[in-house]
């Protein structure tokens, strides 16, 4: 039996009240499923917004033509389109596998709910959900939550809420710049997995042992001796070739 999600309290005062901001360049287009069928330009814009929100940037290989066609024809809602992107192999490969569960919570909450996590309590609560149900269960819980349905419903692409606040000359930094795809945690993990020994340039001190295919590698002394032998042989061979060429030229001039 799965445990219920732990309750968390907002850590900012402005999230406790409704938003009364004036529409600006960050206001999201109000596109419905029926409007998508009539307005191809609106559908293309909504799809691009979804890719930017979830992937930050989608290359051609990352796009899903079947999902886009289903969205344009009204077979699925925008919320289902977002759900499919979050459950795609690209998101799992480029976001989920590159981070710890705590950071996955920050990444997904920022992209789906459009706000930062409410401190360590919410980070821990959703991490428990990931441990119990996996990434798909966590995504379903967010997209089916009352907060998501109240803010975005079925037909709006999630966006960063309250980015432009009254009384501030400069808005908050976009979420994709606040939380890059991976941080030092993943770089250190890749360094430990690199095929090198202890204390090398690729693996820090105390890193993983060498793989089996490097177990019979010659010692540094043998490697240096081999380099000296190759360099000396190269000089001798070069001198012999030069001496032979000079001898041939002198013989030709005497004849």
186-201 per-position pLDDT tens digit: 677 777 766 554 444 4
- 13-186: CATH number: 1.10.3130.20
**What length does the chain have?**
255
Q: Give the pLDDT band of residue 62 (cuts 50, 70, 90).
A: confident
Higher pLDDT, 97 or 1: 97
Phi, psi of 183 (to 5 degrees): -130, -155
Percent of the chain with pLDDT over 90: 23
Directed axis angle between helix 65-73 and helix 78-86, to 10°?
170
Average pLDDT (123-146) is 93
Q: Give the pLDDT band of residue 202 (cuts 50, 70, 90).
A: very low
Average pLDDT (107-114) is 89
Does the pLDDT at position 145 exceed 90? yes
231: tokens are 């360099």
Q: What is the dihedral of CA 185, 186, 189, 190, to 10 degrees?
A: -150
Cα separation values, 229 from 46, 219, 235, 238, Å: 66, 16, 10, 14
119-134 per-position pLDDT tens digit: 888 999 999 999 999 9
8-56 per-position pLDDT tens digit: 766 654 554 555 444 444 444 444 444 444 467 778 888 998 998 888 8
Query: What was the pLDDT predicted at 34?
Result: 40
Cα separation values, 75 from 33, 94, 158, Å: 9, 28, 20
CA distance 67 to 47: 10
66-94 per-position pLDDT tens digit: 999 999 888 999 999 999 999 999 999 88
CA distance 16 to 10: 7
Does the pLDDT at position 170 exceed 80? no
Report the b/e string of 209-220 with b at 16+ CB within 10 A: eeeeeeeeeeee
Query: What was the pLDDT predicted at 56?
Result: 83
Where do the structural domains in the chain lie, given as residue ranges? 13-186, 218-255
């Amino acid at each position: 039996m799965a445990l219920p999600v732990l309750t968390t309290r907002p850590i900012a005062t402005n999230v406790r009240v409704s938003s009364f901001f004036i529409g600006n360049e960050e206001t999201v287009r109000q596109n419905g499923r029926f409007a998508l069928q009539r307005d191809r330009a609106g559908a293309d814009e909504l799809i691009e917004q979804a890719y930017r929100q979830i992937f930050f940037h989608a290359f051609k290989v990352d796009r899903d033509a079947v999902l886009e066609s289903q969205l344009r024809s009204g077979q699925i809602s925008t919320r289902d389109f977002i759900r499919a992107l979050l459950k795609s192999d690209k998101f799992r490969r480029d976001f989920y596998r590159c981070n710890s569960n705590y950071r996955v919570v920050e990444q997904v909450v920022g992209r789906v709910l459009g706000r930062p996590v409410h401190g360590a309590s919410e980070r821990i609560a959703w991490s428990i959900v990931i441990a119990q149900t996996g990434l798909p269960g966590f995504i379903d819980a967010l997209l089916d939550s009352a907060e998501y349905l109240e803010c975005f419903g079925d037909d709006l692409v999630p966006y960063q809420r309250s980015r432009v606040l009254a009384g501030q000359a400069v808005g908050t930094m976009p979420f994709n710049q606040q939380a890059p795809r991976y941080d030092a945690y993943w770089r250190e993990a890749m360094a430990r997995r690199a095929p090198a020994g202890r204390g090398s340039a690729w693996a820090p001190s105390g890193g993983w042992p060498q793989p089996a295919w490097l177990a019979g590698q010659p010692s540094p002394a043998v490697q240096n001796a081999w380099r000296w032998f190759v360099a000396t042989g190269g000089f001798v061979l070069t001198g012999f070739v030069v001496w032979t060429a000079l001898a041939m030229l002198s013989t030709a001039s005497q004849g």
